[in-house]
């Protein structure tokens, strides 16, 4: 990715930009419910986030963020979660674009 494009994305998302995406789609025969694959992203070549889930929901594909497995509450708590809608959409777009490209092959 050219440096100029990285800088444009960084300014657009308060200095956080996805600089690397790895997607691991599941095989068609796998019975994992609505989960279609897993992903790992790198932000600004400095922070790695593993355990992103590619999910098929009522409104199409979306990205689920990793949850805290040790949380003792009634529901669940995210271990990693974007603070702004812009960053969430940016991450989701990058992951789903890569997923679509892999599945198109």
Domain spans, the chain: 3-104
Buried b (16+ CB within 10 A) or exposed e, 27-47: eeeeeeeeebbbbebebeeee
Percent of the chain scored above 90 by pLDDT? 63
**Assigned fold of 3-104:** Arylsulfatase, C-terminal domain (3.30.1120)
The DSSP result for 32-93, as a single string, is: -TTEEEEEEEEETTTEEEEEEEEEEETTEEEEEPPB-TT--SSS--BSS--SSHHHHHHHHH
Please give the backbone phi and psi of residue 29, each rounded to the nearest 5 degrees, phi first: -75, -10
Give the global pTM: 0.80
- Radius of gyration of the chain measured on its C-alpha atoms: 15
The pLDDT, as a whole number, for residue 7 is 47
Tens of pLDDT, residue by residue over 38-85, are 999 999 999 999 999 999 999 999 999 998 888 888 888 889 999 999
d(CA 69, CA 11): 34
């Amino acid at each position: 990715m050219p440096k100029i494009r990285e800088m444009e994305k960084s300014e657009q998302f308060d200095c956080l930009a996805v600089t690397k995406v790895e997607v691991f789609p599941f095989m068609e025969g796998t019975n994992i419910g609505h989960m279609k694959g897993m992903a790992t992203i790198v932000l600004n070549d400095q922070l790695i986030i593993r355990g992103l889930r590619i999910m098929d929901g009522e409104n199409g594909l979306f990205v689920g963020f990793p949850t805290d497995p040790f949380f003792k509450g009634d529901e669940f708590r995210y271990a990693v979660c974007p603070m702004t809608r812009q960053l969430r959409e940016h991450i989701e777009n990058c992951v789903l674009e890569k997923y679509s490209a892999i599945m198109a092959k």
